Each structure stands twice: as structure tokens, then as C-alpha cells.
Structure 1
Amino acid sequence: MFEKGGALKIFGIVLNFIAFFSRFASEKSGVVLKLMKKYYESILFLNI
């Protein structure tokens, strides 16, 4: 079991990471989407 302070700290870190990533993604959304598409296509290609 987590202590309340520890859980809140982890939750805050996660929220900060999500906020940072969403800001970064909005600035570079085209590049990120292209990279993700390439990544998923490579996974699908390897699974065939």
C-alpha cells in the first residue's frame, strides 16, 4: 500500500509528464504522427 503522500507525488509526476508531452506533441504534432505511423507500420510489417 502507498502512503497518501507518495501516491500524490507519483500522481503529480505523471500529470506533469502528460502536460509536458501534450505541449511537446502539439508543437511537433506532424512529426510525431509521422513517426508513430512509421513505427506502427514497421510493427505490422514484422508481424506479417
Structure 2
Amino acid sequence: MKAEIKDNEIAFSIDNDEKKNLRGLSRTLVNNMVEGVTHGYEKKLLLM
């Protein structure tokens, strides 16, 4: 698997189809990291 940063975006590519699920996992983990850094963590609770 290969990760590239180009034009302010991160792109993941794979060599073979056997590791296709690893590409999706890596993309999700990096997306969650970027989201956490840019927007912070927030948890809303409903009090009754």
C-alpha cells in the first residue's frame, strides 16, 4: 500500500486486490485523525 500527499489531499493506492480492505481501513483512520485535529472532539448528552 502507498500513501501520497498531492494538492493538499492524501491518496491511498494498493498493489493487489488482496489488501483492498487495508486501504479502506487506512483511509478511515487518517480521515478520523484529520477530523479530530481540525474540529476537535465533541460529545453531546441528552439529560432527562
Place the TM-score, normalised by the shorter chain, in its bin: 0.3 to 0.5
Higher share in helix: 1
Higher share in strand: 2
Name the TM-score, length of structure 2 as normaliser.
Answer: 0.45
Task: Give the number of the structure whose alpha-carbon radius of gyration is greater.
Answer: 1
